[in-house]
Structure 1
Amino acid sequence: MSTAETAETTPVLITTTGPDKPGVSSVLFAALTSQGVEVVDIEQVVIRGQLVLGVLVAVESDPEGLQEVVEQAMASVSMHVDVRIGSAIGTDPFAPDRRGSTHVLVLLGRPVTARAFTQVARRLAEVGANIDSIRSIADYPVTGLEVYVSVAADTPEADSELRSMLADVAARGGLDVSIERAGLARRAKRLVVFDVDSTLIQGEVIEMLAAHAGVEPQVREITEAAMRGELNFTQSLERRVELLAGLDESVLDEVADQIELTPGARTTIRTLKRLGFSCGVVSGGFTRIIDRLVNDLGLDFAVANDLEVADGTLTGKVQGQVVDRAGKAATLRRYADEYGIPIGQCVAVGDGANDIDMLTTAGMGIAFNAKPALREVADAALSYPYLDAVLFMLGVTRAEIEAADEADGLPLVRP
Structure 2
Amino acid sequence: MSSRLIDTLVLTAAPSSGDLTQGIVDNVCTALSDAGAEGVWLAPGAAWEIDVNLDRSEATDAQRLAETAAGTAAVDVNIVSAPKTSRRKRLLCADMESTIIREELIDEMAEMVGCRAEIAAITGAAMRGEIDFEGALVQRVALFKGFAANKLDDILSRATLMAGAATLLRTMRASGAKCALVSGGFTHFAEPIARRLGFDTVVANELVIENDKLTGDVRQPIVGPQGKADALAHLAAEHGLDLSETLAVGDGANDLVMLRTAGLGVAFRAKPILAAAARSSPSGAVIAHADLTALLYLQGFPATAIQA
Could you say which TM-score interval applies, normalised by the shorter chain?
0.7 to 0.9
Q: Structure 1's 184 and 353: CA in aligned 2 closer, same or farther, altered over 3 A?
A: same
Deviation at 1:368, TM superposition (A): 0.9
Which residue of structure 1 lines up, in the alignment, with residue 8 of structure 2? 104
Q: Structure 1's 311 and 348: CA in aligned 2 closer, same or farther, altered over 3 A?
A: same
Which residue of structure 2 lines up, in the alignment, with residue 85 of structure 1? none
Whole-Å separation in 2 of the counterparts to 1:313 and 1:192: 34
Whole-Å separation in 1 of the counterparts to 2:9 and 2:290: 20
User: Per-residue CA shift, 1:277-312, capped at 9, x if unaligned?
Assistant: 000111000011111022222211010001111111
The correspondence of residues 316-331 of structure 1 with structure 2, limited to 5 A, is 316-331=216-231
Q: Structure 1's 230 and 355: CA in aligned 2 closer, same or farther, altered over 3 A?
A: closer
User: Per-residue CA shift, 1:373-392, capped at 9, x if unaligned?
Assistant: 11122222112362222112
Whole-Å separation in 2 of the counterparts to 1:375 and 1:114: 27
Deviation at 1:146, TM superposition (A): 1.9
For residue 50 of structure 2, the aligned residue among 147, 154, 159 is 147
What is the letter of the counterpart of residue 374 of structure 1? L
For residue 129 of structure 1, the aligned residue among 35, 49, 62 is 35
Whole-Å separation in 1 of the counterparts to 2:65 and 2:258: 25
Cα pair 2:95 2:181 within 8 Å, conserved: yes
SS state at 1:308 partner: strand
Whole-Å separation in 1 of the counterparts to 2:96 and 2:210: 26
SS state at 1:201 partner: coil
Cα pair 1:116 1:174 within 8 Å, conserved: no
Deviation at 1:268, TM superposition (A): 1.1
> C-alpha root-mean-square deviation of aligned residues, in Å?
2.4
The correspondence of residues 13-412 of structure 1 with structure 2, limited to 5 A, is 102-109=6-13, 110=17, 111-113=19-21, 116-125=24-33, 128-130=34-36, 132-139=37-44, 143-151=46-54, 155-163=55-63, 165-166=65-66, 173-181=73-81, 183-227=83-127, 229-378=129-278, 379-384=284-289, 386-401=291-306
Gap regions ≥5 residues in structure 1: 1-99, 406-415
Cα pair 2:128 2:253 within 8 Å, conserved: no
Per residue, is there more strand in 1 or in 2? 1
What is the letter of the counterpart of residue 181 of structure 1? S
Deviation at 1:324, TM superposition (A): 0.8
Q: Structure 1's 121 and 133: CA in aligned 2 closer, same or farther, altered over 3 A?
A: closer
Q: Structure 1's 101 and 147: CA in aligned 2 closer, same or farther, altered over 3 A?
A: farther
Gap regions ≥5 residues in structure 2: 279-283
Deviation at 1:119, TM superposition (A): 4.6
| Bigger radius of gyration | 1
Deviation at 1:107, TM superposition (A): 0.6
User: Per-residue CA shift, 1:316-347, capped at 9, x if unaligned?
Assistant: 11111111111111111010011111001100
What is the letter of the counterpart of residue 360 of structure 1? R
SS state at 1:223 partner: helix
Question: TM-score with structure 2 length normalisation?
Answer: 0.87
Following superposition, which runs of at least 4 residues in structure 1 exceed 6 angstroms of deviation?
Answer: none
Cα pair 2:129 2:273 within 8 Å, conserved: no
Whole-Å separation in 2 of the counterparts to 1:182 and 1:305: 33
Cα pair 1:263 1:385 within 8 Å, conserved: no
Whole-Å separation in 2 of the counterparts to 1:228 and 1:293: 25
What is the letter of the counterpart of residue 240 of structure 1? R
Out of 382-391 and 289-298, give the one that drifted further: 382-391
User: Per-residue CA shift, 1:250-274, capped at 9, x if unaligned?
Assistant: 0112222222111221111111111
Q: Structure 1's 326 and 157: CA in aligned 2 closer, same or farther, altered over 3 A?
A: same
User: Per-residue CA shift, 1:45-80, capped at 9, x if unaligned?
Assistant: xxxxxxxxxxxxxxxxxxxxxxxxxxxxxxxxxxxx
